[in-house]
Amino acid sequence: MINKIVASLDASVADIPDGSTIMIGGFGTAGMPSALVDALIRQGARDLTIVGNNAGNAEIGLAALLKARRARKIICSFPRQTDSYVFDALYRAGDIELELVPQGNLAERIRAAGAGIGAFFTPTGYGTPLAEGKETRLIDGRNYVLEYPLHADYALIKADRGDRWGNLVYRKTARNFGPIMASAARCSIAQVREVVPLGALDPEIIVTPGIFVQRVVAIRDDAVRAVAGAAA
């Protein structure tokens, strides 16, 4: 019997080695897998490359990971937020490398990795500093920039419900990067509010089929609420 449910947060991230590239879901705190990130902090892996939309809020989740100086580099679209002071300080001190990617190119590069696309021409960013040095091409009268897929060793994502085959559904805009990151990592780990029996998820509404998910770990509902509360 295949059972992708892992007993604990700590067990779910135990094997992540130093130097890994790790995708972390979320748009701000919506969809941010804070419980998994906290487990990753406890686990101690360092020299990480982080791929995500933002660079952490206040001193929780991703920001706490950065504060613990576990990340060598971050690839994201919007590091600067009202409460991103941890990242801001590291960046200004030259203590973290930043690869800034327009959000749609970030999403498409992640999707391309999951979909086996070798590279793609995108109109986004053409003629801007974020396309400097990149190959460009005029196609049917429009200018495009060539972008490459973003693969990861691990993806940490947050979903609402999951089953032992790794099928996932999300909640509202907390879906955001979860489905594409799950597809782009060698090992995708999902924290879910609830583990449900196989067959409880209607096959028409499964957003991430289990083929993209290697581990599922349940976190207590109140933990989810606490994270949401912290975002406010």
- Nearest residue (CB) to its own copies, 1 versus 205: 205
Q: Choose the stretch contacting another protein; rule: CB under 8 A; options: 5-13, 16-24, 35-43, 85-93.
A: 85-93
Q: What is the DSSP letter of 190?
A: E
Binding to another protein (CB under 8 A) within 1-60 occurs at 1-2, 27-31, 53
Closer to its own copies by CB, 47 or 135: give it: 135
Q: Is residue 91 a contact residue for another protein (CB under 8 A)? A: yes
Q: Are the beta carbons of 46 and 52 closer than 8 angstroms?
A: no
Classified as helix, coil or strand, 9 is helix
- Binding-site partner at residue 120 among its own copies, another protein, none, CB < 5 to 8 Å by type: its own copies
User: Nearest approach, Cβ of 166 to its own copies (angstroms)?
Assistant: 18
Packed helices 221-231 and 34-43: angle between N→C axes, nearest 10 degrees: 100
Which of its own copies, another protein, none binds 56 (CB below 5-8 Å, type-dependent)? none
Under 8 Å between Cβ of 36 and 191: yes
What the block records as the tokens of 148 is 């490459």
Identify the helix (H) or strand (E) that includes residue 106.
helix 103-115
Partner in contact with 169, chosen from its own copies, another protein, none, beta carbon below 5 to 8 Å by kind: its own copies
Any idea how long the chain is? 232
